[in-house]
Amino acid sequence: MDYFQDFIAALKGIIKKDNLQIDVPMKNHTSFKVGGPVDVLVMPEKYEEISKTIQLCEKYDVNYYILGNGSNLLVKDGGIRGLAIKLLKLNKLQIGNNKIIAGCGVPLGYLSRKARDKSLTGLEFACGIPGSVGGAVAMNAGAYNGEISNVVESVLVIDNKGKMRRISKNELEFGYRTSAILKHKYIALEVSFNLDSGDKEKIGSRIDDLMRRRIEKQPLEYPSAGSTFKRPVGHFAAKLIEDSGLKGKGIGGAQVSDKHSGFIINKNNATAKDILELISFVQRTVKTKFNVELDTEVRIIGEDK
């Protein structure tokens, strides 16, 4: 424990006092609203702070986890041993000609609207995705036939040794809900987007239409992590779940949404254990009925209670 206290003392020399918290409930930092405490949570304001923090973690052999908006994350009830690095304060935005450079903490919806305001098209699909830029590029987030990979030019990253470098689109190895950032455990610091000029009113109408569709079809009134499962090849997860008779199925406070069966929601003060048990139940049922494996899209971290 003295060794960990030495780590915290060293960390205080890097991160401002107001941006460092001890024993923080992760339910306050995830859209699922569940999760036990993390030992230490930091919110860097500069790229150099992240680099130094990672180097410190390497020196003291402390595990660290990267958080954006916490919108695609399930933290177990036992919480996280080590450090959580939350990146939302890295939210600078530069817009010029047909290019946008966005810090990893910029919310996707905000980015989409700012592009619209400058008559730039290509980011309309992202208007309702609740994540931030860093997480979105790491997992190649997409919706309504659009994906981040279609508009990214390059990404400034930090590797697992704390070194910064810029990666071109060709090096990013984009795939369905994956990228080189996930594969190699990089941290996306800022993303350069290459967009097209468009008609501001048409862009705005497209955004309004997609937001209406999202509100009508998704259970936004309940905490969740968005789509719980990846799309299986040749299938749609929501249809497989609904055809398995699982729409509305609940375990504890968790439920398969009766509005959109691709979402597992925190219906009534669910625990992470409730959600995980329901995920497993859905996976087993779909496998039995259709012989299709459902892989989770939501990232699951932490320890059991």
Q: Which long-range contacts (CB under 8 A, 24 or more apart) does 213-218 make?
A: 213/144, 214/128, 217/259, 217/260, 218/259, 218/260, 218/263
| Residue 47, both tokens | 């790229």
Residue 204 near residue 124 (C-beta atoms within 8 A)? no
Question: Which one from 49, 124, 190, 297 is the annotated catalytic residue?
Answer: 297
167 exposure class (CB count in 10 Å sphere: 0-12, 13-18, 19+): buried
Length in residues, the chain: 305
Residue 81 appears among annotated catalytic residues? no
Residue 242 near residue 261 (C-beta atoms within 8 A)? yes
The residue among 155, 151, 157, 147 whose CA lies nearest residue 177 is: 147
In 139-271, alpha helices (H): 180-183, 200-217, 237-243
Question: Which one from 31, 124, 154, 177 is the annotated catalytic residue?
Answer: 177
Residue 177 appears among annotated catalytic residues? yes
Element (H, E) at 104: none
Q: Measured between alpha carbons, how far is 44 from 199 in angstroms, rounded to an integer?
A: 37
Secondary structure (3-state) at 213:
helix
The residue among 36, 158, 176, 59 whose CA lies nearest residue 104 is: 158
Element (H, E) at 250: strand 250-251
Question: Which one from 227, 244, 257, 261 is the annotated catalytic residue?
Answer: 227
Residue 124 appears among annotated catalytic residues? no
- Residues with active-site annotation: 177, 227, 297
